[in-house]
């Protein structure tokens, strides 16, 4: 059976990815701090920031790393700690997990990795300096790793725009905010977790000739002006 590790599979986009993979009869291992509601997975309670050695797994065909942050501040209010916190959860912890499971992934005949970036890397947005820097680091890492590990492991990135998840709750907690956010997107809606999960699982499982790419699942926001 094909086996995937979803880091941050308890909520938001990660939980939707887990549900999608289970529908495909995949075996799924989840790391998160809180217990996922979904059954029929193997769950390890792990904080990826504070953990340095992760559980041994016997086999792995793919890895998705979901933990991230939204820390929006003007540049003059961003401290070094803000940058370090964003780099730690979005980039350094992703690299840490990836490095540990790399030997196992290399043993799979169809290994694949998906990381999460944000629309704010391709399109400059006010107050996104810290998160866009951290995600840009991750995109650069992913592209370099994809080159280094081809043809053994495909490595891609999904870059969503605003998506209705616990992480984005503060940005979507009133009808006015929801409507304004929807109207900023050429497709006139914010993201939902199924859209992002479908794109992620496509890259993870099906896109056999795609590596080193960033897929922008963002309602057209990064590239269109309408
Ligand atoms: N939602 C958006 O609008 C949006 C937009 C652009 C990019 N993104 C990116 O998309 C990815 C997924 O976002 P999301 O909105 O689904 O986030 P979310 O709702 O916060 O879910 C994140 C998942 O990661 C887990 N997690 C967080 N910190 C962790 C830690 N230290 N150790 C272990 N697990 C941890 C959470 O579970 P526990 O709390 O149980 O640990 C949860 O399962 C992120 O990388 C985010 O930057 C999201």
- How far is ligand 1, taken at its centre, from the CA of residue 41, in Å? 18
pTM as predicted? 0.98
Calculate the average pLDDT of the chain: 98
Contact 132 CB / ligand 1 (< 6 Å)? no
pLDDT tier at 39, thresholds 50, 70, 90: confident
Substitution candidate for ligand 1 out of 5, 9, 11 with most atoms within 8 A of CB: 11
**Residue 205 CB: number of other CB atoms within 10 A?**
19
- How far is ligand 1, taken at its centre, from the CA of residue 200, in Å? 14
Contact 48 CB / ligand 1 (< 6 Å)? yes
Q: Domains in the chain, ordered, with CATH?
A: 3-162+192-217 (3.40.50.720)
Q: What are phi and psi of 163, to 5 degrees?
A: -130, 140
Mean pLDDT on 133-149 = 98
Exposure string over 47-59, b if 16+ CB within 10 A, otherwise e: ebeebeebeeeee
* pLDDT tens track for 144-190: 999 999 999 999 999 999 999 999 999 999 999 999 999 999 999 99
Q: What is the rounded CA–CA span in Å between residue 141 and residue 155?
A: 10
Mean pLDDT on 10-20 = 98
List the beta bridge partners of residue 62.
4, 112
Q: What is the rounded CA–CA span in Å between residue 79 and residue 69?
A: 15
Q: What is the pLDDT of residue 82?
A: 98
Contact 50 CB / ligand 1 (< 6 Å)? no
DSSP code at position 189: S
Going by alpha carbons, the residue nearest to atom 18 of ligand 1 is 167
Q: Which is the closest atom of ligand 1 to the Cα of 115?
A: 45
Q: What is the rounded CA–CA span in Å between residue 171 and residue 161?
A: 12
């Amino acid at each position: 059976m094909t086996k995937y590790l979803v880091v941050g599979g308890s909520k938001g986009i990660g939980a939707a990815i887990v549900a999608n993979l289970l529908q495909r009869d995949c075996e799924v291992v989840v790391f998160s701090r809180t217990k996922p509601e979904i059954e029929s997975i193997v769950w390890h309670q792990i904080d990826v920031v504070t953990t340095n050695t992760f559980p041994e797994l016997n086999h792995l065909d793919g890895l998705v790393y979901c933990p991230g942050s939204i820390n929006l501040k003007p540049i003059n209010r961003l401290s070094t700690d803000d940058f370090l916190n964003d780099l730690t959860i979005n980039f350094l912890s992703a690299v840490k997990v990836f490095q540990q499971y790399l030997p196992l992934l290399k043993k799979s005949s169809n290994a694949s990795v998906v990381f999460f970036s944000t629309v704010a890397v391709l399109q400059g947005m006010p107050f996104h300096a810290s998160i866009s820097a951290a995600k840009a680091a991750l995109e650069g890492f992913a592209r370099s790793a994809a080159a280094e590990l081809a043809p053994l492991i495909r490595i891609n990135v999904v870059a969503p725009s605003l998506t209705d998840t616990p992480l984005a709750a503060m940005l979507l907690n009133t009808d006015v905010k929801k409507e304004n956010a929807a109207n900023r997107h050429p497709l006139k809606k914010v993201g939902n977790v199924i859209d992002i999960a479908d794109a992620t699982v496509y890259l993870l499982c099906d896109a056999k000739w795609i590596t080193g790419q960033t897929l922008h699942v963002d309602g057209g926001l990064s590239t269109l002006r309408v």
